[in-house]
Amino acid sequence: MKIFFLILFLIARVSASWAVSLSKAGCPNSCGGVVIPYPFGIGPNCYMNKWFSIKCNKTAKHREPILTAFNVEVFNISLEQGTVHINSSTAIRVRSEDKNATISSRNLGNTPYLSYSSTNNILVAVGCGIVATISDENDQLAAGCVSVCDGEFSKNFDVCSGIGCCQTVIPLRTKKYTVGINNSGASSSFGFALVVDKYWFEQDPLNGDDFAQCACAQGFQGNPYLPQGCEGSYYCSCPPGYHGDARINGTGCFIIKTESHVKAILLGIGTGIGLFFSLMVTWWLYQQIKIRKKLKMKEFFFKRNGGLLLQQQLYTKSTICLEKSKLFTLEELDIASDHFNENRILGRGGQSTVYKGMLSDGTVIAIKRFTLASEGQVKQFINEIVILSQINHRNVTKLLGCCLETEVPLLVYEFIPNGTLSDLIHIRNDQDFSVSWLMRLQIATEIARAILYLHSAASFPIYHGDIKSNNILLDDKYRVKVSDFGISRLNPFEKTHVTTQVKGTFGYLDPEYFRSGRFTEKSDIYSFGVILVELLTGKKPTSAIELEERKSLVEYYLSSMEENRLVHVLDPQVAKEENKEEIMVMANLARRCLNMIGKNRPSIQEVSMELEGIYLLKQALRKY
């Protein structure tokens, strides 16, 4: 099958009647009847470079010129037309059982050959129901044709018009192509597709207006590629669509970026910029929608959690109240707690989790995050925040503010570094840390001071409702900070909280409150009595498994007091205290606080006075 290459160094208009040899001096002029003009040549030093080397093969019938760079037979070299006519094997065949096939040509990139000639070559497909396509070097579909049949396929046709055979031109400046064939015909169909010389079906003269030419100047003749080959001057020009001087030692020929190319590039740039701005606008709108949705959710939660009521009540209070209370934003607390990192958790309760955090000014805080609360509890919850914002006592944990922008409220407290009283008695006391009698007496006295303040010295009585060693915090000097009073239980005065208290604080719960559902100030006194027993014995209220007859700690303690064997239940650190009178005062006070009948328990004023008297006396004796 014949096919044309376009040569880069193109090509003098010569005639067969020229007297001047077109080959290099001393080199063969032809092979098998094919004229071999320079820059092509047969033998060493007869061609310009390896791409133009011709080998003259001798066969049984005649000699064949072979273009060694591609190992193909050469039919004709036309310097005038700038073409090499070769025998190509780039063809593809399918049978009835085949459906699809492809084959690729040689790549002319990085060679002196500009392209496969789009003027002299065509894509041809033969067969019934054959779809032939040609793709460029980027595998982009460039051209194609369809061959159909009316009945049986006949090989007797003189023109290729679509019946049994179809043809189409190949793209301009094709350096590599891929022929694809799809067989969609009948079971008896067969076919093939290939790129061939257009003479296969056409007999029209070649149109050579799309390739470059070099020629001798007017009045001269010869081969412009040989030294002094024109016996004078010569000129070269590139084909349409290319630019350059068409010389191997010059710029050669390269594609001109025409107006259509520029328009395409500008269109692509404009489309890209437009798409970029469209994406940016879409992203911006999406972000604005997210922000608006987030703000609406914050506003909803703020109103649902009683934020408007809180603001109203705070602004009706004194200036001191306003200075001590703050409405934090969610962003502030989220940053302060490192996005509520699990590693920042200080403790968990039945209704809340406490996180350690740090505000932007360096203040270390504790953030309490509640579980879901019903809407009916919101008003009482806000009232309690307002009450706590007015509390100012050194033995009560300070409430710094709250955040109502979340689904559940967040409370912000001052951070207390030394943990809880429970940890001090039951964990650290067992790890070579001795809790002295004086420290126990100080802690008991300060807890009583805090309860006295809540019951009587505040704006109106505040009943804690959950006095226990886990809710007694200790600062860096082991001073008491009572926490969680009334807050962990959002509505502590309701009877419905009885079961919750049993689950959460069993061992501290007032039996009378458990039976009646009525919480009074004497309920806090009972819980405080349990803490006094903890300080005296060093045991947990629920550690009945270690005690005689499987009694609770309170039962075991009361029976020991009645049987005058208190010494058997005291903590060893307490038992070795020399002043037994002080111990007996606290022990008897604890027994009175644990009376099963609430009205028979002492008031917090009595409790506080007795403990203050012991503590002050102890302090005075230490000075001497």
CB atoms within 10 A of CB 455: 19
How far, in Å, CA of 487 to CA of 145, rounded?
84
Strand 83-87 and strand 2-7: pairing? antiparallel
Q: List phi, psi (to 5°) of 212.
A: -75, 160
Q: What is the SS3 assignment for 301?
A: helix
How far, in Å, CA of 22 to CA of 36, rounded?
8
Q: What is the SS3 assignment for 529?
A: helix
Q: Which two tokens stand for residue 286?
A: 């999406």
Q: Are 80 and 14 in contact (CB under 8 A)?
A: yes
Q: List 122's β-bridge partners, or say none.
A: 169, 196
Burial class of residue 59, CB neighbours in 10 A (0-12, 13-18, 19+) = exposed
How far, in Å, CA of 440 to CA of 425, rounded?
9
Q: List 319's β-bridge partners, or say none.
A: none
Q: What is the DSSP letter of 225?
A: T
Catalytically active residues are: 466
CA distances from 323 to 143, 363, 425, 481 (A): 81, 16, 36, 21
User: Rounded to an integer, what is the distance from CA 454 to the centroid of its chain?
Assistant: 51
CA distances from 459 to 54, 94, 313, 491 (A): 114, 100, 14, 18
Edge-to-edge order in the sheet of strand 41-42: 41-42, 53-58, 63-67, 72-78, 83-87, 2-7, 113-116
Q: What is the DSSP letter of 505?
A: H
Strand 83-87 and strand 72-78: pairing? antiparallel
How far, in Å, CA of 291 to CA of 285, rounded?
10
How far, in Å, CA of 537 to CA of 100, rounded?
93
Q: What is the DSSP letter of 541?
A: T
CA angle 226, 228, 232 (to 5 degrees): 125
Q: What is the SS3 assignment for 101?
A: strand
CB atoms within 10 A of CB 346: 16
